[in-house]
Amino acid sequence: MAGFLLLVSGVSRLDNYVDEFDYLVIYDGDCNLCATIVKFIIPRDRSGVIRFAALQSETARQWEAISSHPMPEDIRNTFIWIERGRIYIKSTAALRMVRRLSGVWPLLSIFLLIPTWVRDPFYTLVASNRYRWFGKRESCLVAVAEYRDRFLV
């Protein structure tokens, strides 16, 4: 995914996207589970406002290094949801993200009432074993033409 970086006055392209787009998912592009989740989100985001960026992209790597937005310490094992400039990680990220989906999925956000110290160990268990349980991709997810504009490439 080389060539995705555009630096303007020391700000990465992804940093601009954080400010430009209201909803952004940063996911592990090598993870089969993560790719499946992205494929799940796309048709359920009927308004088409959620954007996606793979952790393995040059843009995400540069953003991690120079961003004015703080990044989580365990970025490689974390689902990241950026909502109107605020960064959420782990189970909170997933539960806040489902609120943007159509159908019954927003009802899952009720689990936000459970403290993160209860929710996140389950998230961490799955995240730590995702390659073993679901496999690893040889290449990042490539969007079909219809959805290509939703991926930060």
Give domain limits for the chain: 13-150
Nearest CA among 129, 122, 132, 133 for reference residue 94: 122
Model confidence over 12-45: pLDDT tens digits? 444 555 555 689 888 888 889 988 999 999 999 9
| Stretch 86-102: mean pLDDT | 92
Indicate the range of 97-101, 129-133, 135-139 predicted with least confidence: 135-139
Q: What is the DSSP string of 26-63?
A: EE-TTBHHHHHHHHHHHHH-TT--EEEEETTSHHHHHH
- Binned at pLDDT 50, 70 and 90, residue 89 comes out as confident
103 touches 109 (CB < 8 A): no
Architecture in CATH of 13-150: 3-Layer(aba) Sandwich (3.40)
Given a cut of 80, is residue 6 above it in pLDDT? no
Q: How far apart are the first and last CA of the chain?
A: 8
* pTM of the complete model: 0.76
The first and second tokens of residue 111, run together, are: 């689990």
